[in-house]
Amino acid sequence: MASKQFNIIALAVFTIVLPAVAMATEFTVGDDSGWTIDFDYQAWAKDKVFRVGDKLVFKYTAGRHNVFKVNETAFANCTVPPPNEGLTSGKDVITLSTTGRKWYICGVSNHCAGHGQKLVITVLDESASPAPSPSPSTPKPSTPGSANNIGQPPSTPAAPAPNSAYNRILVSGYQLLMAAMAAVAFLVV
């Protein structure tokens, strides 16, 4: 009897914990371009939401690049830490374990200062909603047919960004449903 109760409790814990672990996202820095020179990593990171538990994967040819986690000052000045602090495998995985700003640079030659091989991100708590994007300061397009818009097709509004907060609520709902099912199974047995 005790073994059966243990199995049910283990199943309940597994059902609740598995979706939380599965929520972590793995980001390949630079997507298909990887970690390289002359790539705009700030633009790449701009629309992404990084959370505790997510992973950054830096893909590059080993020996041609490396990755250093640095502070804000070293990031701004492209100051390279001692070589033993660098990651050099060519497929370096960094698990984001704390909230806040994180800075990464390449320490090879002038890749950081001369070629912009550096990345800064903000890591949120796994349950936090992302901050709303700032409103653009550019004027709104004029209405079709107005003097400023003659001969141009009317502009279409941009599609709203996916709401990751909504998706995380759905996952939380899933966890609650699974916990309720596990509790009912426990009471029945």
What is the pairing mode between strands 118-124 and 100-105? antiparallel
Q: Report angle CA 106, 109, 110 to the nearest 5 degrees.
A: 75
| Mean pLDDT, rounded, for 155-172 | 42
How are strands ordered across the β-sheet holding 100-105? 50-51, 118-124, 100-105, 68-70
- Tell whether the model's pLDDT for residue 57 goes beyond 60: yes
Q: If you compute the radius of gyration of the chain from its CA atoms, what whole number of angstroms results?
A: 23
Q: Which residue has the higher pLDDT, 153 or 182?
A: 182
Closest CA to 172 of 125, 130, 122, 126: 126
Count how many Cα atoms sit within 13 Å of the Cα of residue 152 in the half-sphere of its side chain: 12
- Tell whether the model's pLDDT for residue 87 goes beyond 70: yes
- Please report the pLDDT score of residue 126 as a whole number: 83
pLDDT averaged over every residue in the chain: 77
| Mean pLDDT, rounded, for 93-110 | 97
